């Protein structure tokens, strides 16, 4: 079948000549739709990062470094001198970054020194410091605070006067990677704040100021951990030396499940907004005018997730409010699924069940038919009265998607999946824009499901209370 010429009873508006050929025609303003207001109001994110300082024993600040046999040096990053730091800078290589799969050196984008992990050894022991537990509860909420994570050391960086790293995301090094951790040593410096941008919000962290104001009797490091799909940059260092260790953070399985605190032993409370969100979804499902004949609720996810070929791992790796939404739906016996979303020609979205590999980087348009022929998934028509006169395909009532939270970003083309990263993208692992889709069934059947969920929640509370008395 050739790519159909889509004809619609109300034709999609032609982009005007000064518009991008692929200007997004995404479903607009669910956040302002009164039916979805309560849900959107209940979705509040904690910031996508956590920061702090940590007092460490004196040996933790000792660093050995060198690039060839026999030339290793020792430096104590608490008591160091200007000349010792200058030597460290001279030993570093220029730090690169990634534009898609390419490694790039460009001092107008990133100016910093780096040592790979085979050129240094630090006495800072991340495992023993207990910092990973602090990071886990700083980044995650509810039961996710109990999920085990692991860190892999990545690089040592030195930002001397005039150094910076412009806006980027951290390149995924596996589909189980969720974050990055930066340790900033207490070497004197000014500037070099880490700035974050996510969904129209901005934050910054000034590690030098945090260490200075910690007033600890013993020296401390500063740390910042963040979801690595969140855009960030290091502002220009205006004086001194900013010495950092970077780690990639991964989900993992507990090495010894018996040692790991189970839900029964330690149960962090659910995030404060989860109950409000659940009751807002409940009210919507109870509304007989909402998708009366059935259909799907769609939620644009706020984070991106690293993917290789399949998407099956994503549902258990959700971050921030994405995770809270999925939990609320599951507690109402709904089964959300994750789809990778592409905008195609003719005002259509294609929601893929796996990562497509059919892109021709030279193609201007993502052609719907090539998806249909090659990737399992679902066509979503953004116009309600869509009808393809050639094939007779119509939007059926039961196929309708109501976008409950904004679908702000979609993947446009394969080549755009990876962008500016802190290293070259591994071609088989990229960040993707995704949505959470959930079939809600016709109104008549939904009420029973909501009642059953409410009854189950009540039984759970009563039996817990009984146990306690």
Ligand X SMILES: O=C(O)CCC(=O)C(=O)O
Question: Which residues of this protein are in contact with ligand X, per CB under 6 A?
Answer: 157, 165, 170, 182, 194, 232, 234, 244, 246, 422
Q: Least CB distance from residue 422 to ligand X, whole Å?
A: 3
Q: How far is the CB of 244 from ligand X (least distance, A)?
A: 5
What is the total count of residues that contact Fe ion (CB under 5 A)? 2
Beta strands in 133-200 (DSSP E): 149-160, 164-168, 177-184, 189-191, 194-198
Measured CA to CA in angstroms, residue 402 lies from 25, 150, 290, 292, 385 at distances of 15, 38, 9, 12, 14
Does residue number 347 form part of the binding site for Fe ion (CB under 5 A)?
A: no
Report the alpha-carbon distance of residue 379 to residue 342 in Å, rounded: 10
Question: Binding to Fe ion (CB under 5 A): which residues in 394-423?
Answer: 422
Q: For 114-124, b where at least 16 C-beta lie within 10 A, e where not — what string?
A: bbeeebbebbb
Within 8 A by CB and 6+ apart from 93, the residues are 113, 114, 115
3-state SS assignment for residue 184: strand
Distance CA 304, CA 340 (A): 10
What phi, psi does 137 have (nearest 5°)? -80, -20
Nearer to Fe ion, 179 or 186 (CB): 179
Residue labelled with tokens 């990229």: 430
Q: Which is nearer to ligand X, 378 or 419 (CB)?
A: 419
Shortest Å, Cβ 109 to Fe ion: 12
Give the separation between CA 25 and CA 23, rounded to whole angstroms.
6
Please give the residue whose beta carbon sits closest to ligand X in the complex.
422
As a whole number of Å, the CA-based R_g of the chain is: 25
With CB cut-offs between 5 and 8 Å by kind, which of ligand X, Fe ion, none does residue 194 bind? ligand X
Report the length, in residues, of the chain: 469
Question: Between residues 227 and 371, which has the closer beta carbon with respect to Fe ion?
Answer: 227
Nearest C-alpha neighbor of 339 from the set 443, 197, 442, 439:
439
- Least separation in angstroms between residue 210's CB and ligand X is 12
Closer of 157 and 370 to ligand X (Cβ): 157
Q: Which contiguous run of DSSP H or E holds residue 126?
A: helix 126-129
Q: How far is residue 423's CA from residue 71's CA, in Å, rounded to a whole number?
A: 28
| Residue 387 near residue 135, CB atoms below 8 Å | no
Q: Which residue of this chain has its Cβ atom nearest to Fe ion in the complex?
A: 422
CB closer to ligand X, 117 vs 463? 117
Question: Which CB atom, from 165 or from 185, has the smaller least distance to ligand X?
Answer: 165
* Residue 177 near residue 148, CB atoms below 8 Å: no
Closer to ligand X by CB, 170 or 388: give it. 170
CA distance 172 to 418: 9
122 binds, among Fe ion, ligand X, none (CB under 5 to 8 A by kind): none
Among ligand X, Fe ion, none, what does residue 228 contact (CB within 5–8 Å per kind)? none
Question: Smallest distance, Å, CB 429 to ligand X?
Answer: 16
Which of ligand X, Fe ion, none lies near 182, with the C-beta cut-off 5 to 8 A by kind? ligand X
Region 156-195 residues binding Fe ion, contact defined as CB under 5 A: 170
Q: How far is the CB of 159 from ligand X (least distance, A)?
A: 7
Residues near 92 by beta carbon (within 8 Å), at least 6 away in sequence: 113, 114, 115, 156, 157, 158
The string over 73-90, giving b where at least 16 C-beta atoms fall within 10 Å of a residue's C-beta and e elsewhere, is: eebebbebeeebbeebbe
CB of 355 to ligand X, least distance (A): 24
Nearer to Fe ion (CB atom), residue 178 or residue 381:
178
Q: Show the tokens assigned to 19.
A: 């518009």
Q: Shortest approach of Fe ion to residue 46 CB, angstroms? A: 20
In whole angstroms, the minimum distance from the beta carbon of 133 to ligand X comes to 21
State the Cα–Cα distance between residues 321 and 238, nearest whole angstrom. Answer: 36
- Give min distance, CB of 112 to ligand X, in A: 8
Closer CB to ligand X, residue 246 or residue 304?
A: 246
Q: Looking at beta carbons only, is 43 or 183 nearer to ligand X?
A: 183
The least distance separating ligand X from the CB of residue 411, rounded to whole angstroms, comes to 23
User: 151 vs 453, which CB is nearer to ligand X?
Assistant: 151
DSSP assignments along 444-457, one per residue? HHHHHHHHHHHHHH
Instruction: Report CA 405 to chain centroid distance, whole Å.
Output: 17
Give the footprint of Fe ion on this chain (CB under 5 A). 170, 422
């Amino acid at each position: 079948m050739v790519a159909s010429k889509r004809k619609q009873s109300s034709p999609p508006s032609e982009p005007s000549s000064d518009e991008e050929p692929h200007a997004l025609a995404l479903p607009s303003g669910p956040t302002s739709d009164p039916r979805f207001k309560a849900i959107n109001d209940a979705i509040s994110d904690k910031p996508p990062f956590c920061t702090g300082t940590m007092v460490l024993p004196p040996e933790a600040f000792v660093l050995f470094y060198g690039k060839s046999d026999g030339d290793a040096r020792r430096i104590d990053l608490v008591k160091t001198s200007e000349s010792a730091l200058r030597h460290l800078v001279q030993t570093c290589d220029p730090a690169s970054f990634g534009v898609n799969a390419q490694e790039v050196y460009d001092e107008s984008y990133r100016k910093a020194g780096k040592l790979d992990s085979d050129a240094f050894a630090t006495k800072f022991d991340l495992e023993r410091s207990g910092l990973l537990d602090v990071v886990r509860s700083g980044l995650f909420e509810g039961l996710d605070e109990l999920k085990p994570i692991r860190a892999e050391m990545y690089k040592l960086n030195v930002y001397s006067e005039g150094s910076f790293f412009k806006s980027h995301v951290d390149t995924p090094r596996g589909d189980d990677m969720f974050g990055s951790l930066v340790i900033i040593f207490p070497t004197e410096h000014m500037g070099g704040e880490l700035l974050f941008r996510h969904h129209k919000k901005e934050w910054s962290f000034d590690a030098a100021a945090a260490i200075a104001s910690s007033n600890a009797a013993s020296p401390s490091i500063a740390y910042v951990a963040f979801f690595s799909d969140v855009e960030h940059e290091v502002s220009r260092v205006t004086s001194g030396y900013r010495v950092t260790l970077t780690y990639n953070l991964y989900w993992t399985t507990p090495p010894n499940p018996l040692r790991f605190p189970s839900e029964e032993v330690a149960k962090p409370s659910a995030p404060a907004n989860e109950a409000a969100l659940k009751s807002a979804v409940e009210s919507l499902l109870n509304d007989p005018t909402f998708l009366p004949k059935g259909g799907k609720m769609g939620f644009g996810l706020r984070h991106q997730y690293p993917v290789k070929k399949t998407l099956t791992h994503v549902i258990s790796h959700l971050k921030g409010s994405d995770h809270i939404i999925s939990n609320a739906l599951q507690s109402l016996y709904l089964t959300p699924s994750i789809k990778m979303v592409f905008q195609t020609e003719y005002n259509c979205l294609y929601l893929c069940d796996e990562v497509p590999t059919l892109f021709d980087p030279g193609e201007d348009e993502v052609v719907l038919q090539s998806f249909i022929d090659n990737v399992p998934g679902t066509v979503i028509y953004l116009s309600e009265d869509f009808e393809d006169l050639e094939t007779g395909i119509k939007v059926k009532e039961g196929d309708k998607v109501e976008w409950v939270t904004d679908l702000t970003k979609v993947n446009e083309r394969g080549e755009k999946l990876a962008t500016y990263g802190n290293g070259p993208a591994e071609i088989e692992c990229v960040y993707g824009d995704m949505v959470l889709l959930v079939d809600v069934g016709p109104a008549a059947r939904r009420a029973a499901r909501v009642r059953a969920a409410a009854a189950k929640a009540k039984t759970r509370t009563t039996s817990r209370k009984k146990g306690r008395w």
